[in-house]
Every structure is written in C-alpha cells, then in structure tokens.
C-alpha cells in the first residue's frame, strides 16, 4: 500500500481541488481565473515550480496577473479599513 500526500487544496473560487506545488499564476492560467479575481488560496502556492517557463509571453502574463492580484489585495485592505472606520464613527 502506498500513501501519496499531494500538495492540494480546495479552491472555493473554481470549486475544484488545485495543486499548490505550482505557482499561483500557473494555477490561475490552468483554471482560467480572470485577473480581477482575488485568489482565496493566496499564500498557499510555491514561489517557483519545477516547470521552466521559458516563453516571454507566459512570463509577461504571469507578471501582469500577479501585479493585478497585489493591487486587488491592497484595494480590498483599504476598503475594509474604511468600512471599519465608518462603522466606529
């Protein structure tokens, strides 16, 4: 009997199990996630995968996707802070 402990997690955005031993960008591309989606598994993925992405177009898409994720995360943080401040007033 063999036990295989794969690095997977359930993604509520796509309602599927996803591999977390790939980069977040690779997962997003694999599951057709739009750039404006905030990933519920952000922080669970590896920084580098075992797959060499040599194509410049793929690298540019990943960089643009990662940048949009960071901007969305910053916006959500600011919005949440503003909502909390208004609730206190």
Question: What pLDDT digit, counting tens, does each position of 40-74 carry?
Answer: 999 999 887 665 555 566 777 777 777 788 878 88
What pLDDT is stored for residue 73 in this prediction?
A: 85
What pLDDT is stored for residue 67 in this prediction?
A: 77
Whole-prediction pTM: 0.54
CA distances for 55 relative to 9, 19, 49, 85, angstroms:
28, 22, 15, 45
């Amino acid at each position: 009997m063999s036990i295989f402990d794969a690095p997977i997690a359930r993604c509520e955005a796509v309602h599927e199990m996803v591999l977390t031993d790939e980069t977040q960008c690779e997962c997003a591309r694999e599951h057709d996630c739009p750039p404006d989606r905030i990933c519920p598994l952000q922080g669970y993925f590896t920084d580098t995968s075992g797959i060499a992405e040599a194509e410049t177009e793929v690298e540019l898409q990943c960089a643009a996707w990662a940048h949009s994720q960071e901007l969305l995360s910053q916006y959500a943080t600011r919005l949440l802070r503003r909502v909390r401040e208004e609730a206190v007033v």
